[in-house]
Amino acid sequence: DAMVIQNPRYQVTQFGKPVTLSCSQTLNHNVMYWYQQKSSQAPKLLFHYYDKDFNNEADTPDNFQSRRPNTSFCFLDIRSPGLGDAAMYLCATSRVGLAGVQETQYFGPGTRLLVL
Amino acid sequence: DAKTTQPPSMDCAEGRAANLPCNHSTISGNEYVYWYRQIHSQGPQYIIHGLKNNETNEMASLIITEDRKSSTLILPHATLRDTAVYYCIVRALNSGGYQKVTFGTGTKLQVIP
């Protein structure tokens, strides 16, 4: 059963043309994350939502934005994609329990973005 | 979060045990050791985690040294489908609700027929 779903699996966009990647989850987790993974590199956290609270990593470019309209969905918007933004984008979720302890992160299959 | 050190690559014969080491000498008392793996072009997959006791599940075993400065992930009978990059991650648990997962460079495990 799919738990963290990312669509599409492959996305092609043009240089400078806005693109949106989507993530949904069936786990009812209250935290959702977006990672960027470039070729042969480890995933790098861009930002996360804890419920409705958005938390940006200090080095995430302004070109990257995110929306979380409800618990199940989270979107990654790239306002003006450059060639350097071609990468795998990974969505992950986790739950923060009653004691404030964050549990295991689960990842989606990723969306590979190609910028022409 | 504490940094981890892993060998960049390892080979393992199919059917044999794969032992993947991880050094986390600066680990704090409240930090867990997590292992994920990433098969080519897929998202990272959670494998196992532990604090100080050895852990086993249907995928693997995790052996943590008594001083907690290193650990070993054991895949008891490696198959070709276990070929992947394995990440050892040390995570602090806090009450702030946010826990950054910082991936290191990982170990690329190649299972050989």
**Cβ-defined contact of A101 to B43 (cutoff 8 Å):** no
pLDDT(B96) > 60: no
**pLDDT confidence band for B113 (50 / 70 / 90):** very high
For position A21, what pLDDT does the model report? 97
A109 touches chain B (CB under 8 A): yes
Q: What is the pLDDT of residues B78-91, one digit of tens each?
A: 999 999 999 999 88
A26: left (phi over 0), alpha (psi -120 to 50) or beta: alpha
pLDDT in tens, chain A (116 residues): 669 999 899 999 999 999 999 999 999 999 999 999 999 899 999 999 999 999 999 999 999 999 999 999 999 999 999 999 999 999 999 988 776 677 788 999 999 999 99
Q: What is the pLDDT of residues B13-52, one digit of tens each?
A: 999 999 999 999 999 888 889 999 999 889 999 999 999 9
Whether the Cβ atoms of residue A92 and residue A35 lie closer than 8 Å to each other: yes
B81 backbone dihedrals φ, ψ, rounded to 5°: -75, -10
Give the number of other CB atoms < 10 A from CB of residue B43.
22
- Provide the mean pLDDT of chain A: 92
Q: Residues, chain A, total? A: 116
Task: Mark A51-66 as b/e (b = at least 16 C-beta within 10 Å).
Answer: eeeeeeeeebeeebbb
Distance from CA of A79 to the nearest CA of B (A): 24
Distance from CA of B63 to the nearest CA of A (A): 19
Using the 8-state DSSP alphabet, how is residue B17 labeled?
P
For residue A32, give the chain B residue with the closest CA: B98
Chain A contact probe: residue of B98, B102, B107 with most A CBs at under 10 A: B98
Whether the Cβ atoms of residue B62 and residue B71 lie closer than 8 Å to each other: yes
Name which of A94, A104, A109 is nearest B43 (Cβ-Cβ).
A109
| Dihedral angle computed from the Cα positions of residues A27, A105, A57 and B4, in that order, rounded to the nearest 10 degrees | 180
For residue A110, give the chain B residue with the closest CA: B43
For position A116, what pLDDT does the model report? 94
Alpha carbon distance A101, A106 (integer Å):
15
**Cβ-defined contact of A90 to B105 (cutoff 8 Å):** no
Distance from CA of B87 to the nearest CA of A (A): 9
Q: Using a CB-CB distance cutoff of 8 angstroms, which residues of chain B are in contact with residue A110?
A: 41-43
A85 backbone dihedrals φ, ψ, rounded to 5°: -90, 0
For position B105, what pLDDT does the model report? 86
For position B94, what pLDDT does the model report? 62
Name the token pair of A97. Answer: 């329990």
Name the token pair of B10. Answer: 């390892």
Alpha carbon distance B5, B104 (integer Å):
8
